[in-house]
Amino acid sequence: MYNQLQFTSTHELIDQYAPLVKRIAHHLMARLPSNVILDDLVQAGMIGLLEAARKFDPGKGASFETYAGIRIRGSIIDEVRRGDWTPRSVHRNGRRVTEAIHQIEARLGRDASDAEVAAELGVSVTEYHALLQDSLDSRLFSIDELAHNDDDSVGMQFEGDDPGPMMQLQDSNFRQALADAISNLPEREKLVLALYYDEELNLKEIGSILGVSESRVSQIHTQAALRLKSRLREWH
């Protein structure tokens, strides 16, 4: 293991963990539009791997693979964000859906259904699903964005930088709030997130399990992310 300092060169490190970079890049690529190039994601991931090699402290108790995975994923997501390929209208519609979900759930005290959100927006259910599909490419990173501060905090602790007791408390409280929000999602949305993030299945595989199309899985994922955002709005 790397945390036992068994590598004698950067080349050995790259050879050992290059498959991890490619696996993460392929997993994220499945959620991105066709104009994003896989090689660009891999290159960004390799930068994250090298950054992990430079900053990793084996004395902190975490495995290198865990730490590198955070750095690789973060580096790829940063590269995608820099590309600025999401139209403003997509962000605007995502905010509209988030606000509609919040208003309905505050009013009714339960999960907002597709039909209720569509009615709140003044569109048909079909048009609402189209909005979710349009929001797909930007919102598939929503879970990562929600947990982004958490990842940074973990990385900081691995590096030996102390974020201070107040920041640690905020991170701990946010993690708990996020976990609670996920546990209270509608069952199908919760299952999609579990299969995607925990089991690392792609959208097509999840669709086969649920008996729905890949595009419908995308819509469910997007709606789950927007619902979480509405329920965690006080953290933004």
Q: How far apart are CA 217 and CA 63, in angstroms?
A: 33
Amino acid found at 230? S
**Residue 214 tokens, joined:** 């890949």
Q: What is the mean pLDDT of residues 210-228?
A: 90
Q: Domain ranges in the chain? A: 2-83, 88-235
Which CATH number does 2-83 carry? 1.10.1740.10
**CATH topology classification for 88-235:** Butyryl-CoA Dehydrogenase, subunit A; domain 3 (1.20.140)
Query: DSSP assignment of 91-138, as one string?
Result: HHHHHHHHHHHHHHHHHHSSPPPHHHHHHHHTS-HHHHHHHHHHHHHH
Give the tens place of pLDDT for each residue, 160-191. Answer: 344 455 555 556 677 788 888 889 999 999 99
Residues 10-49: pLDDT tens digits?
677 778 899 999 999 888 877 676 667 888 889 999 999 9
Q: Give the per-residue pLDDT at 158.
A: 34
